[in-house]
Amino acid sequence: MRLHFRNIRVFLISLFAIVALCGCDQADEKFKSYSVGFSTPNVKVWVSSAYLDQHIGILGGSIKGAWGEGGAFNSVSDAPMPHEVYVNWEEDKTKLRYEAKVNLVDDLAKRARKLPPVRFNVSQSTSKDIFLIIGMSKDGKVTVWLSNTAYATGMTGRVLEVIGEAQGTLTKDVTPYYPSSKTQR
């Protein structure tokens, strides 16, 4: 009987070790909330559609701002960090329409969990938030950043880290219902 319990104990310890090793990648762990917004290098664009992992739609519309500074934010709740971002937009001045699929870094969830808080200069209070900022340039390049705040003005400790880049392709699709298969990987 004693040998039987020892085998069970060895089995349980081995099983626990395997589960612990397999479970250390928390890439699909759900986050309570994070924000997703858009950025442009001081050009006006119209974002027709944007998706995280082809199933979380992000509202767009008319966007104009500073590169790396976010605007028009959407809140995403109870969802994992995305693996890819799809965006379809039109540059206002040239009327060129682009679409792009951006693959994001594999350890995005880990990086998001490690973001430090920012300190507001006037109140000295701190805030610990997660922002994904999707930047679209007039030449069709897309840059996606991970940040702990939407903008840098009036605070210290901002993190702005590139987590994905892609070159968009010209398209005639105004508003695809979902990301097309022809987008660049």
**Domain annotation covers residue 151:** yes
> How many domains would you assign to the chain?
1
What pLDDT, on a 0 to 100 scale, did the predictor assign at position 97? 94
Q: Are 40 and 63 in contact (CB under 8 A)?
A: yes
Q: What is the mean pLDDT of the chain?
A: 83
Q: How are beta strands 30-39 and 131-136 bridged, if at all?
A: parallel
- Each residue's pLDDT tens digit, 161-185: 999 999 999 988 665 545 554 444 3
- pTM assigned to the model: 0.79
**Domain annotation covers residue 68:** yes
**Domain annotation covers residue 43:** yes
**Domain annotation covers residue 109:** yes
- Round to whole Å and give the CA distance between 23 and 77: 22
Q: Higher model confidence: residue 149 or residue 15?
A: 149
pLDDT band of 65, cuts 50, 70, 90: confident
Please tell me what DSSP assigns to residue 123. T
pLDDT band of 70, cuts 50, 70, 90: confident
**Domain annotation covers residue 14:** no
**Domain annotation covers residue 133:** yes
User: Which structural domain range is residue 51 located in?
Assistant: 30-170
Give the residue among 69, 84, 79, 82 at the shortest CA–CA distance from 37: 69
